[in-house]
């Protein structure tokens, strides 16, 4: 069951959704089905390598893909 990031074209909200089997995803806010699947970085640990962590940048956010969708933990 992969976790996907979407952007709803009806209400302009980004969200993550677990997609099971042949389910048709829909927006949890407006129930819309006009969705754009976003490109997201996989969160998988590979032996000997560290996963990217949130590092604040001078311009705000941390630079990770999640920051572009409002998922940055560095911003309040």
Is residue 46 in some structural domain? no
What is the residue range of 28's domain? 1-41+51-76
Count: domains in the chain: 1
Give the 3-state secondary structure of the chain. CCEEEEEECCCCCEEEEECCCCCCCCCCCCCCCCEEECCCCCCCCCCCCCCCCCCCCCCCCCCCHHHHHCCCCCCC
Q: What is the pLDDT of residue 31?
A: 93
Which of 2-6, 7-11, 22-26 is least confident?
2-6
pLDDT per residue over 39-64, tens digit each? 766 666 556 655 555 555 555 555 55
Whether this model's pTM surpasses 0.75: no
Is residue 15 in some structural domain? yes
């Amino acid at each position: 069951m992969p976790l996907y990031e979407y952007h709803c074209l009806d209400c302009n909200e980004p969200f993550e959704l677990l997609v099971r089997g042949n389910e048709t995803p829909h927006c949890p806010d407006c129930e819309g089905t006009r969705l754009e699947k976003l490109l997201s970085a996989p969160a998988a640990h590979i032996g000997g390598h560290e996963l990217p962590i949130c590092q604040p940048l001078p311009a705000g956010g941390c630079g990770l893909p999640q920051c572009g969708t409002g998922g940055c933990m560095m911003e309040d």
